Structure 1
Amino acid sequence: MFDLFPIYSPATLTFLCAVLFVAGVVRGFAGFGAGMIFMPVATSILYPPTAAASFLFLDFVIAMPLVVRAVRICDWSTILPAVTASVIFVHAGTWFLANGDVFALRWIIFAIVTGLLLLLISGWRYHSRPTKPVSFGVGAVAGVLGGISQVSGPPVVAFWLSSAKEPMIVRANLIVFFALASIGTIIAYVSNGFFTLEVLHLLIPAIPAYGIGLFLGSKGFGKADPKFYRLIAYSLIALAAISSMPALDAWLR
């Protein structure tokens, strides 16, 4: 059961752990973005549900220390409606993935993510205090996108970055949101039987690689300039847009 190599070659495990380390550094620093780095690479060499279930477990369990610190400074008034909507609508996204035209849906995702990025670059800011319906709507979009492609970050990132809040609060919001929103995804994955022995075998070497990356990334955030934080966030949204393009499947998958 604990013999890794009949399922994964040493080269595959080493490569995936290296990618997870980089993804962990990014997640620890920015509060999001690890899935945007890991999933396009992992799904090119692993069965997609195995890659998704492995990453979900890692990000939910290993990132808990970040959540403990973030709950003290996050904005609960905007997080709770967004989380509620995401937990509900992730199942809608999963249904679309199973029954819809996935190729067309992925182009829609690319258009949405690219539009959000251009909106942020333009300098637009949401100056009003976010209402519960607005927060709920943003969470719903994130849930649908997460169910379809595991790219749920850009809507909530764009929403909180546009509020002109301090990067510390934006990062805390993202950390808490993804931790709570993962509950809906876990339920969906368990009901579909995604947590298999292959997932367990991958997690054994992946946990320390991702954990060390998270630790180093979180340490780097405390020394970062707010402008640098926003630049990293914009770059990660751009990465999400590029990696979701069906036209690049031949190179990314």
Structure 2
Amino acid sequence: MFDIFSSFPPYLLVFLAAVLFVAGFVRGFSGFGAAMIFMPVATSVMVPSTAAAAFLFVDGIVALPLVIRAFRICNWSTVLPAVLGSIVFVQLGAWLLATSDVLVLRWAIFIIVTGLLLLLISGWRYQSKPTKPVSFGVGAVAGILGGVSQVGGPPVVAFWLSSAREPAIVRANLIVFFALASIGTFVAYTLNGFFTLEVLHLLVMAIPVYALAIFLGSNGFKKADPGLYRKLAYGLIALAALSSMPALDSLFR
């Protein structure tokens, strides 16, 4: 049952472990971004449903201590409406994916994410206290983008980064948002039979590697300059934009 080499050759496991370690370190440091690093690479060497199910499971289990700690300091008044908006509108994103021109949708996503990044780099800040309707709206945009392309992070990242909140609060908001928003995905993956024996085999390697990487990344955040957090977040948003750009499919897929 646990013969992982029956599903994945050793060289592939080593390669995936290296990618997952980088993704986990970034996740531990920033609170988000691991999927942006792992998924484009993993889906190029295995069935996308296997990669997605394995990553969802390992991130949900290993990142649980991060979530518990983030519960204590996140801003619930803006996180919960954003989560609700994401859960509701991810269905619209999935419907658009099923009924619209995928190429047009992906170019639209690239333009939206790039626009958010340029807005942040320009120095613009959301000065008002986030209201529940605004937070819900941002979560809705994240849900639509996630349903279309699994690139749902940039809207909420840009929203909370643009506020006057210190990096620790922004990071906690993101950790809790992604944890709660993923509950619906767990249910959908279970109903669709995505948690297969191949996923179990991959988890044997993934859990210890990802756990070590998250631990090191989380400790790195405690010692890092706050300015480094914002720069890393900008870089991850740029990665999300590039990985969703149709013209670069040969590199990311």
Q: TM-score, normalised by structure 1?
A: 0.97
Q: For residues 186 and 110 of structure 1, what CA distance do their matches in structure 2 show?
A: 26
- Aligned-residue Cα RMSD (Å) equals 1.2
Q: For residues 9 and 34 of structure 1, what CA distance do their matches in structure 2 show?
A: 23
- The aligned counterpart of 1:2 is 2
Counterpart code for 1:164:
A
1:105-184, aligned counterparts within 5 Å?
A: 105-184=105-184
Larger deviation, residues 179-188 vs 190-199: 190-199
Q: For residues 190 and 107 of structure 1, what CA distance do their matches in structure 2 show?
A: 30
1:215-226, aligned counterparts within 5 Å?
A: 215-226=215-226
Larger deviation, residues 91-100 vs 222-231: 91-100
Q: For residues 71 and 17 of structure 1, what CA distance do their matches in structure 2 show?
A: 29
Residues 161/115 of structure 1: CA separation in 2 closer, same or farther (3 Å cut): same
- The aligned counterpart of 2:229 is 229
1:180 Cα offset (Å) = 0.5
- The aligned counterpart of 1:59 is 59
User: Kindly, what percent of the aligned residue pairs are identical?
Assistant: 73
Determine if contact 1:87/1:143 at 8 Å carries over to the other structure: yes
1:188 Cα offset (Å) = 2.0
Q: For residues 213 and 4 of structure 1, what CA distance do their matches in structure 2 show?
A: 21
Counterpart code for 1:77:
S
Structure 2 residues not aligned, in runs of 5+ = none
Larger deviation, residues 69-78 vs 195-204: 195-204
1:130 Cα offset (Å) = 0.8
SS in 2 for 1:163: coil
Q: For residues 102 and 200 of structure 1, what CA distance do their matches in structure 2 show?
A: 31
SS in 2 for 1:222: helix
Larger deviation, residues 72-81 vs 103-112: 103-112
Q: For residues 156 and 61 of structure 2, what CA distance do their matches in structure 1 show?
A: 21
Determine if contact 1:28/1:217 at 8 Å carries over to the other structure: yes
Q: For residues 249 and 213 of structure 1, what CA distance do their matches in structure 2 show?
A: 28
Q: TM-score, normalised by structure 2?
A: 0.97
Aligned residues between the structures: 253
Larger deviation, residues 163-172 vs 46-55: 46-55
1:9 Cα offset (Å) = 0.9
Q: For residues 95 and 185 of structure 2, what CA distance do their matches in structure 1 show?
A: 13
Question: Does residue 242 of structure 1 match 2:242?
Answer: yes
